[in-house]
Amino acid sequence: MVLEQIYPLKLIEKHWIFAFILGVSYSIIGIGTSIILFPEDPAIVAVAFISIMILPTLNKLLKEEEEIESQKDEFNLFIFLRDHKYIFLIYILLFLGVLLGFSFFTLGLPELTTNHIFENQVNVLYGDAKAGGAVFNTTLFKDIFFNNLTVLIICFVTAFVLGDGAIFLITWNASVWGTIFGIYAKNAAAAGFYNPFLSFVIVIAIAFVHLTLEAFAYISSATAGGVVSKGILKEKFFSERFLHIIKNTIILIIFAIIVLLVAVTAETFVLGNVGTYQTIIKQSFS
């Protein structure tokens, strides 16, 4: 692809910020193309276009990761995260880039246009629970956790069955977050709370920790699904190497669930205790 020639793989590995730039660029191209070609229902098509554009870059990165991992006889989670930290970081920066691209379109377009173009993402927003007023709302925590756990499991299963298919779900999640944050900011500004761009910066700053942790959990789950999928294809059933891969995958999934628990805990705490965030959300729904 043209953008990959402008930003070669080695450049992305050395300067991770280019992964973020790619995420923004791909989202703008994907959304713009889907609006032109599929004006009646561009939301899902945009996510598909963006996922297709991201795949070649991720395939090259994952191939290098497989070569590194294939030389090891034992699995250690901390060594695994250390040796592959740049692939996780690139994944997250791509995620944040796509999120920003969807937010840019949401903030820049009129509300009726936004509601039509991003209809599926908007439906997620108005189907979700709204911010509460408790210090820690256990019911809200359970709702968010089990919803996100479902996404995490689907990421694993999709990566297991389709290999790189989980990138579609990760991109979809970024599109939902980007659209929701854009709508929060724009609606809050319309109600007289700051201006849309300042509201957006505030929302992103407050949500950044639990947002990136959630993305990291999904990426870890997708990585686990890809690892066990390739292991089943390469190794004999119930061989020592096969059982070793299964054990490693279970460790990685447990790690992803723990990260998700931390992310949901942070999100629930923010929704119940950060007054500015609550005000922006309430203004958005007013």
Query: Dmax over Cα atoms in the chain, in whole Å?
Result: 64
Q: In which domain, by residue range, is 197 found?
A: 2-285
* Residue partners of 275: CB distance under 8 A and separation at least 6: none
Give the pLDDT score at 130: 47
Residue 5 has pLDDT above 60, yes or no: no
Residue 133 has which token pair? 């007023």
State the chain's mean pLDDT as an integer. 77
Average pLDDT over residues 186-214: 83
Give the pLDDT score at 120: 63
Query: Which residue type does 126 have?
Result: Y
Give the pLDDT score at 261: 95
Confidence of residue 183 (pLDDT cuts 50, 70, 90): confident
Instruction: Tally the domains of the chain.
Output: 1
Residue 228 has pLDDT above 60, yes or no: yes
Segment among 177-181, 210-214, 233-237 with least mean pLDDT: 233-237
* Residue partners of 249: CB distance under 8 A and separation at least 6: 224, 225, 227, 228, 231
Confidence of residue 131 (pLDDT cuts 50, 70, 90): very low
Give the pLDDT score at 249: 79
